[in-house]
Amino acid sequence: MSGPLVVVGDALLDIDVEGTSERLCPEAPVPVVDVGREWQRPGGAGLAALLAARSAAEVVLITAIGADESGARLASLLEGEVELCTQPLDGETPCKTRIRAAQQSVARLDRGGGRASRRALDDRTVSVLRGAGAVLVADYGRGVADHPQIRELLAEAATRVPVVWDPHPRGGAPVPGARLVTPNDSEAVKFSGADADPDELAKALRDKWNAHAVAVTLGSKGAVLASGDGVRRVPIPNSAKVAASLRPDTCGAGDRFASAATAALFEGAPLADAVATAVESAARFVAAGAATAVSQPVDETEPEPVSDALEFAERVRRRGGRLVATGGCFDLLHPGHVSLLRHARSLGDALIVCVNSDASVRRLKGPTRPVVPAADRVRVLAALESVDAVAVFDESSPAALLEKIRPDVWVKGGDYAGTELPEAEVVRAHGGEIVLVPFVDGYSTTRLLEGVSHG
């Protein structure tokens, strides 16, 4: 029986401060962001381990975490998700805070320059590495993967199990014999010292690092794989593509690529198949909201978006607020959705989004939908500033859910004009009104997917 999938690298605490920005600061031409919500998640190797746990039953993370507040929060976020094997950290736990408005980052604040200690490893860490069934090195240049003793153990592991290395320009070179090294295109240029074609970069880096294979990731263009079988392009399959016009958040896409490739190799997949799986997994991860989909609210007193939606509705009513609700599949979130949600939120004091379950979407849209699972769709919607709560319903119509929520306003897209909504009777029975909001021209999930499949 093989050992666990082991992730080795530098874990960070990632924070997103979400807000709105409608004006510039009078002292300087910089945006003023009115803070709405704050979210946190493991970053770096912590995110890679969290994502690996989606594909492998047993994941152990070897990392360095400081004895400070950021370290405690990071450890808490990982607890119950992966097994931690921590090393001493010299300095503060790294923390990266993105300031975001309108789904765009406007600034990033970095603090905590801690680096992994060079002290000798404990027996447990040595045992974990020697018993690994596969290893993912998520190097973020802060010393864990560059620890001399860890490097020796990684070099030994590469002779018997798959070792996937996600390198960093400030980190050490991958150990010889790595099964797969996964730089992105800009990193590949830095590592090679030449601004060449990705095919040439992949071949050159494979030779330079004495690796079995190198996959240079190319964002929306997939990846290029250089191995003993030559060089091949690995495109994103049509079913997993995201329209470029959506300007998606790609934070964590590289970690998803590397973790999916490692998990596939861990399960015995051939190299080319593992890279194809990784390309598709990374694309679907971005479509689902990327790293924001695995974030948690910093304020633990905030209600959970699904289980507490009805309680939230009651609180809004008790304080005399005007409750707005809208609903739909929200499969691939696009500008039309965002415009609808913002308009809906402007009609009252709070907005609850009613989301079709996966089974409900399949009944409405066919067996190939949804593209994004319900849990991920809920995460993405809940992360939006305009959304206060999310509830999932399993029926084809949200009528039963609306019977419980009893919104003052029910909002639907303008494409429903001239039709009688099946839930209209329920909304009006509780004194609610129905408002149709125009969609942004040219956007629909179905149309986007059809355009991709014929493109």
Confirm whether 5-294 and 303-453 share one CATH topology.
no
CATH, domain range 303-453: 3.40.50.620
Q: Say what the pLDDT of residue 308 is.
A: 67
Distances, alpha carbon 389 to alpha carbons 139, 302, 370, in Å: 36, 10, 21
Q: Tens of pLDDT along 6-26? A: 999 999 999 999 888 888 989
Evaluate if residue 104 carries a pLDDT over 90: no
- Catalytic residue from among 255, 331, 388, 408: 255
Q: Tens of pLDDT along 112-130? A: 989 999 999 999 999 999 9
CATH, domain range 5-294: 3.40.1190.20
Q: Say what the pLDDT of residue 365 is.
A: 81
In terms of C-beta density within 10 A (0-12 exposed, 13-18 middle, 19 or more buried), how is residue 455 classed?
A: exposed
Q: Residue 156: which H helix or E strand, with range?
A: helix 148-157
Evaluate if residue 156 carries a pLDDT over 80: yes
Domain regions of the chain by residue span: 5-294, 303-453
Decide if 358 is catalytic: no
Q: Which of the two residues, 320 and 354, has the higher pLDDT score? A: 354
Task: For residue 386, report the phi and psi dihedrals to the nearest 5 degrees.
Answer: -80, -15
Q: Tens of pLDDT along 338-385? A: 889 999 999 988 899 999 988 888 888 877 778 888 888 888 888 888
Assess contact for 335 and 326: CB atoms under 8 A. no
Evaluate if residue 303 carries a pLDDT over 60: no
- Residue 393 makes CB contacts below 8 A (sequence gap 6+) with 327, 354, 355, 356, 357, 360, 400, 401
